[in-house]
Structure 1
Amino acid sequence: MKILKFGGSSVANANNILQAENIIKKESLQNKIIVVVSALQGATDSLIKAANYASHKDERYIWLIKELEEKHLNLVKELIPVLDQSAWLSFVKKHFNDIEDLCNSIFVLGEFTNRIKDKITSYGEFLSSNIIAARLQYEGLDAIWMNAMDHILTDSAFTNAKVDLEITEKNIQNYCKEHQNHIIIVPGFIAKDGKGNITTLGRGGSDYTSSIMAAALSADELQIWTDVSGMMTADPRLVSNAKPIPEISYHEAMELSHFGAKVLYPPTIQPVMIKNIDLRIKNTFKPEAAGTLVTHNINASDSENSPVAVGISNMSHIALLTLEGSGMVGIPGISARLFQCLSLEKINVVLITQSSSEHSITLAIHENDVVHAETAVNSSFADDVKLKRIAPVKIETGLSIVALVGENMKNRSGVSAKMFGCLGNNGINIRAIAQGSSEKNISIVISEKDIKKAVNVLHEEFFESEIKQVHLYLCGIGNVGHKLIQQIYEQNEYLKEHILINLRIAGLSNSRNMCFPESGISKDECLEHLKNGEKASIEKFAEEIISRNLRNSVFVDVTASAEIPKIYESLLKKSVNIVACNKIAASSDFEKYQSLKNTAKNHSCKFFFETNVGAGLPIIGTINDLIRSGDKITSIQAVLSGTLNFVFNNYDGNIPFSEVVAQAQKEGYTEPDPRLDLAGTDVARKILILAREAGYPLEFHQIENIGFLPEECMQGDVDNFYQMLLKYEDHFQNLVAEAKAGNKILKYVATFNHGKAQVGLQHIAPEDDLYHLYGKDNIVIFKTLRYSEQPLVVKGAGAGADVTASGVFADIVRAV
């Protein structure tokens, strides 16, 4: 025998009921079956709403009842043959007259008790099950309707009655012996107490009815038919990649359902779990899908190859209640008093955690119980509070519980570390932790606003480890920005296959517009979004990043703006990784530079700026490797400006200096204002950053900058700058001539030695390491304690949109 239960969505309308009918027909070919049905979707809520209207003297209850009656009448018309409809239409009308009479009484009395609530809500299952039974009978099936209220006996705790299982099981067994019909249709949710009053079984009551039936008859299987293909690894409304769980143990299902998995309710599982009856969750609308099997017979022998967790569940609208004080330490009975006072107020405790010092106890309860809980606890401990042995109870709201569930967690080490690590890396603060000694569940309390991010992060870590979703926010869409976007789109498939990350551009901004593109769009669509975006504001851009609160977020600054670094700290504090091509932050006051690095460290995120020096060359990374390995840098000699190297490699006095500079700017080797490069400011910032990364607390003003541009060149705008270069052409020709006279060439060199830094033009002889440096190449020569005689040299292209973008790209990948 099998028990089939169809939920509200499965019997929402005639079309859905016909799909359920097909399933019933198929199952009844091989088995005797009992079918438990819920009320039509939304019917129970409408009945309660109508009664509430009536209790508040609101006549809208009348049309609400009429609307629900019409829905049931239409159902009869669609399911029952025309010649037989009259009796069933009268049946529906009679019972809706009874419902209206009840609501009229409520309207007059202004009172809506739990006893009346049970009577009114019982009509939902009563009507739907009778109509479905009639439909099956008219289809020629051997079906009979069984009134659950005559056989399921409960106490008188209306709206959440407790079943007398011993008597109920005998009643069910006797009924099935007397009625050998192949199909028995049973209304779920409803029962009666010993006095004949109608009662209901509370939340998930129809599931509980089916479980009771299965246990009483020792059924082969209980099937719960709903609108999802089984229990999911996470709530699909939060996690788009949530997957059905093929098989799960009873205890795992209990844990998941306790913390919010809506497919099952904990009481449902108990009767079948005791009898070792398999429970299968299936999709009425995709009956071919395997669904989820809930069973005792999980293969524990293959635990090493089994997943460490089976699912993640979450529960919102949670509050934390904390009782603390030195008067609790070593005093027996404190916990008992706390739980007793909450129990008397019928307040359910969802989660418990206590410090080992016994100085505090923290409980999680539902937010709607906060007022009663606070009053009850403060009243119970009033004397202790007055004597200052215990502090008044502390309440925190706006919280959620997330639970990671799995039998195999007890067999694996490092599960908690993995869980807390991935949450910490995404800036999710954990307010409380609870883990049972059975090690089937690790539960945490977090802020409600972090719930979606947390569930996605955990799901990605434990169920989608093959690919990590990364959200990029790009600021600055110039030459480098365009190249970076192109590289991201070209390389993303490789990253998914080999590095197991998926890069998604979640936000774009330039000096004019900003936008937040949808996922899955092309590069051209992405840029079109920006073109049609809203007016740019770096503050609003940062606010949007923070409010979206997406996991694995990276802010990428590909600008030279002095304003944008002002938002770095606020982003880092929200655990948003930062990749900066912009040199302003790393070359600002040392205190600010150090603060940004510490903020990143303290909030478990990354602040990378490799491209601040040498575009895509691994210069900062090399310094960090040397320092981490215990080496110490004693001196640095470098050509750090691809622009200046390009200029002096190409300027020989035959063509004007201004034309060479213009060519460098055209090819993307200079900053938007070339004076930043030619005045040595850019090089000074670079040597400052290298010195700082080497461990020296240098400030920008301490760098000696020996300029070669006449003062007049630095005045006015960029157009004026080029005019002044033409005016002082003789000056530049003299610089080249002086170098040639000594058989040398000009290089703009940065040096750091004995804690002092300097930048300026130097005459370089052929035997010098800096001599053979062509085009836009950079070179950095490190002398360290280990590389004292033979220096360590990093050399290569130090400018250009392509190589700079690739350096930024590499930092992004390292950051995640």
Structure 2
Amino acid sequence: MRVVAKFGGTSLGSGDRINRAADSVAEAVAAGHELVVVASAMGNTTDELLDDIEFEAEEADRAEIVSMGERTSVRMLKAALAARGVDATFVEPGSDDWPIVTDSRGEVDAEETRERTRELASDLDGTVPVVTGFLAEDGEGNVTTLGRGGSDTTAVMLGSYVDADEVVIVTDVEGVMTGDPHVVEGARNVGKITVDELRNLSFRGAEVVAPSALSYKDDDMGVRVVHYQHGDLLTGGTNVTGQFQNLIDMRESPLACLTVAGRAVRNQSGILSDLSSALAEADINVDAVASGMDSITFYVDEDVAERAENILHQEVIEEGSLSSVTVDDDVAVIRVTGGELPNQSGIISELVAPVADAHINIHDLITSATSVAVFVAWDDREQTLEIIQDQFQQ
């Protein structure tokens, strides 16, 4: 089996942990598996280096300085593997076999990186390359970086380009947990999670796998998250399944927009819960929710709008700080979903501007980590869908 193993800063944070990492790699190699190792900077080295730059430094100099954390890690891990009889070599920017190249905009040059990575993979049956995570180089050989969480991106991208069977992310938690074990009691491991679920969690603060990394995952390659104390790279942890699908979808039936207004929305807890619970108890499904300073909007099937209005009106009457409920019928929604959306700067503008240029009024716009929902009048739905499709086919 071909495996890319990424060791995070915590898992390389001491000599003992480096030994533990080297043991797990050596055991996998002894079992006949081909490995590529990606190493983050030890502990908090990168943050400490950045904190110490208390002067005006050019971007190129900053990149060179922060690269020292990863450069140290790969040398330590390579030496630890050599001490175990493993033929290993460290690979860093400037090496003849360095694989990851960025273009003039600082983005990964996929074609060049893919070709170089395949050359790196040609010797995996005899040597374990230990690659610096987070780092890249531009076309002129200058050190660049892949941004926050870049070591995860390095690992999953290399895994994709070397046709790995699995990418193993070694971190300081036993896979994805039901909650932060440092905060909540009884947090347990989640055995399986989809890329969409994990990416939404990552964009909302879960520090498990960097969101930018998951866009490189496909159905044929497994991604697994394990604790550094586990010791076995090939078992345990959380399996991340599936791959992102770019999708443009238009809801086939119209929605109704019900808006509840009142000062209680922003200064009284439980209002959203009360309104949502009332609709749920009446078996009314809510397609989407949007909130403002003094209002909450629910989108429901148009054929249940009258019943939903009566239910919400009753809540308004019972809660004195709510003012009124209004209904707007014949609303359409077009949703754009895709793993690449959060990495595309200006994506909202690219969606909204051409719709506005067509003099189509946008009723509402609701975004999440991996999707954008555009609400327009029902009569404008086909033209809006065509405009959005054209934008994503360019």
Q: TM-score by structure 1 length?
A: 0.30
Give the secondary-structure state (helix, strand or coil) at the position aligned to 1:271. coil
Contact 1:276–1:295 (8 Å) recurs in 2: no
Question: What is the aligned partner in structure 1 of residue 224 from structure 2?
Answer: 280
| 1:416–1:282 Cα change, 3 Å | farther
Question: What is the aligned partner in structure 1 of residue 118 from structure 2?
Answer: 173
For 1:266 and 1:213, the matched residues in 2 are separated by 16
Question: What is the aligned partner in structure 2 of residue 291 from structure 1?
Answer: 237
Question: What is the aligned partner in structure 2 of residue 187 from structure 1?
Answer: 132
For 1:32 and 1:436, the matched residues in 2 are separated by 52
For 1:217 and 1:25, the matched residues in 2 are separated by 20
- What does residue range 403-414 of structure 1 map to in structure 2 within 5 Å? none
1:129: Cα distance to partner?
A: 0.5
* Structure whose CA Rg is larger: 1
Question: What is the aligned partner in structure 1 of residue 174 from structure 2?
Answer: 229
Q: Which has the higher strand share?
A: 2
1:357: Cα distance to partner?
A: 9.7
Question: What is the aligned partner in structure 2 of residue 151 from structure 1?
Answer: 99
Question: What is the aligned partner in structure 2 of residue 116 from structure 1?
Answer: 61
- Segments of structure 1 that go 5 or more residues without pairing to the other structure are 56-110, 298-354, 359-395, 397-412, 421-428, 438-597, 604-816
What whole-Å deviation, never above 9, does each CA across 1:382-436 have from its counterpart, x for those lacking one? xxxxxxxxxxxxxx9xxxxxxxxxxxxxxxx77869xx9xxxxxxxx99898999
Amino acid at match of 1:37: A
Question: What is the aligned partner in structure 2 of residue 16 from structure 1?
Answer: 17
For 2:285 and 2:186, the matched residues in 1 are separated by 21
Amino acid at match of 2:9: G
For 1:119 and 1:282, the matched residues in 2 are separated by 30
1:239: Cα distance to partner?
A: 2.2
Contact 2:9–2:41 (8 Å) recurs in 1: yes
- Segments of structure 2 that go 5 or more residues without pairing to the other structure are 244-255, 260-265, 267-282, 301-314, 321-394
Structure 1 vs Structure 2 CA RMSD: 3.5
Task: Give aligned pairs, total.
Answer: 261
Question: What is the aligned partner in structure 2 of residue 40 from structure 1?
Answer: 42
| 1:226–1:436 Cα change, 3 Å | farther
Give the secondary-structure state (helix, strand or coil) at the position aligned to 1:272. coil
| 1:137–1:415 Cα change, 3 Å | farther
Amino acid at match of 1:277: M
Question: What is the aligned partner in structure 1 of residue 142 from structure 2?
Answer: 197
Residue 218 of structure 2 corresponds to residue 216 of structure 1? no
For 2:213 and 2:132, the matched residues in 1 are separated by 15
What whole-Å deviation, never above 9, does each CA across 1:602-656 have from its counterpart, x for those lacking one? 59xxxxxxxxxxxxxxxxxxxxxxxxxxxxxxxxxxxxxxxxxxxxxxxxxxxxx
Question: What is the aligned partner in structure 1 of residue 72 from structure 2?
Answer: 127
- What does residue range 551-700 of structure 1 map to in structure 2 within 5 Å? 602=319
For 2:298 and 2:187, the matched residues in 1 are separated by 24
| 1:26–1:431 Cα change, 3 Å | farther
For 1:257 and 1:228, the matched residues in 2 are separated by 14
1:252: Cα distance to partner?
A: 1.5
- What does residue range 389-428 of structure 1 map to in structure 2 within 5 Å? none
Question: What is the aligned partner in structure 2 of residue 325 from structure 1?
Answer: none
Contact 1:148–1:186 (8 Å) recurs in 2: no
1:128: Cα distance to partner?
A: 0.9
For 2:299 and 2:150, the matched residues in 1 are separated by 28
For 1:132 and 1:250, the matched residues in 2 are separated by 30
Contact 2:26–2:81 (8 Å) recurs in 1: no
Amino acid at match of 1:45: D
- What does residue range 75-90 of structure 1 map to in structure 2 within 5 Å? none
For 1:38 and 1:205, the matched residues in 2 are separated by 9
For 1:197 and 1:431, the matched residues in 2 are separated by 51
1:241: Cα distance to partner?
A: 2.5
Residue 55 of structure 2 corresponds to residue 50 of structure 1? no
1:182: Cα distance to partner?
A: 3.9
Question: What is the aligned partner in structure 1 of residue 210 from structure 2?
Answer: 265
1:223: Cα distance to partner?
A: 0.3
Contact 1:36–1:186 (8 Å) recurs in 2: yes
Give the secondary-structure state (helix, strand or coil) at the position aligned to 2:16. helix
1:26: Cα distance to partner?
A: 2.0
| 1:244–1:142 Cα change, 3 Å | same
For 2:128 and 2:190, the matched residues in 1 are separated by 30
Contact 1:144–1:181 (8 Å) recurs in 2: no
Residue 186 of structure 2 corresponds to residue 241 of structure 1? yes
Amino acid at match of 1:261: A
For 1:27 and 1:433, the matched residues in 2 are separated by 54
| 1:30–1:115 Cα change, 3 Å | same
What whole-Å deviation, never above 9, does each CA across 1:496-530 have from its counterpart, x for those lacking one? xxxxxxxxxxxxxxxxxxxxxxxxxxxxxxxxxxx
Amino acid at match of 1:14: G
| 1:215–1:112 Cα change, 3 Å | same
1:180: Cα distance to partner?
A: 4.1
Amino acid at match of 1:208: T
For 1:285 and 1:40, the matched residues in 2 are separated by 16
- What does residue range 528-547 of structure 1 map to in structure 2 within 5 Å? none
Residue 74 of structure 2 corresponds to residue 138 of structure 1? no
> What is the aligned-residue identity percentage?
30
Contact 2:20–2:231 (8 Å) recurs in 1: no
Amino acid at match of 2:91: M
| 1:430–1:113 Cα change, 3 Å | same
Contact 2:35–2:124 (8 Å) recurs in 1: no
Q: TM-score by structure 2 length?
A: 0.59
For 2:26 and 2:299, the matched residues in 1 are separated by 44
| 1:415–1:119 Cα change, 3 Å | farther
| 1:415–1:214 Cα change, 3 Å | farther
Amino acid at match of 1:278: G
For 1:23 and 1:290, the matched residues in 2 are separated by 13
For 2:299 and 2:229, the matched residues in 1 are separated by 37
Amino acid at match of 2:214: I
Amino acid at match of 2:237: G
For 1:187 and 1:282, the matched residues in 2 are separated by 20
For 1:11 and 1:431, the matched residues in 2 are separated by 49
For 1:172 and 1:186, the matched residues in 2 are separated by 11
What whole-Å deviation, never above 9, does each CA across 1:265-290 have from its counterpart, x for those lacking one? 111111123x6311000001134682
| 1:138–1:436 Cα change, 3 Å | farther
| 1:197–1:182 Cα change, 3 Å | closer
- What does residue range 417-456 of structure 1 map to in structure 2 within 5 Å? none
For 2:295 and 2:26, the matched residues in 1 are separated by 50
| 1:14–1:435 Cα change, 3 Å | farther
- What does residue range 367-516 of structure 1 map to in structure 2 within 5 Å? none
| 1:130–1:414 Cα change, 3 Å | farther
For 2:222 and 2:140, the matched residues in 1 are separated by 34
Amino acid at match of 2:180: D
Give the secondary-structure state (helix, strand or coil) at the position aligned to 2:239. strand
Amino acid at match of 1:226: T
For 2:16 and 2:101, the matched residues in 1 are separated by 34
Amino acid at match of 1:20: A
| 1:184–1:239 Cα change, 3 Å | same
What whole-Å deviation, never above 9, does each CA across 1:262-317 have from its counterpart, x for those lacking one? 111111111123x63110000011346821100129xxxxxxxxxxxxxxxxxxxx
- What does residue range 788-807 of structure 1 map to in structure 2 within 5 Å? none
Contact 1:148–1:188 (8 Å) recurs in 2: no
1:131: Cα distance to partner?
A: 1.7
Contact 1:233–1:242 (8 Å) recurs in 2: yes
1:139: Cα distance to partner?
A: 2.0
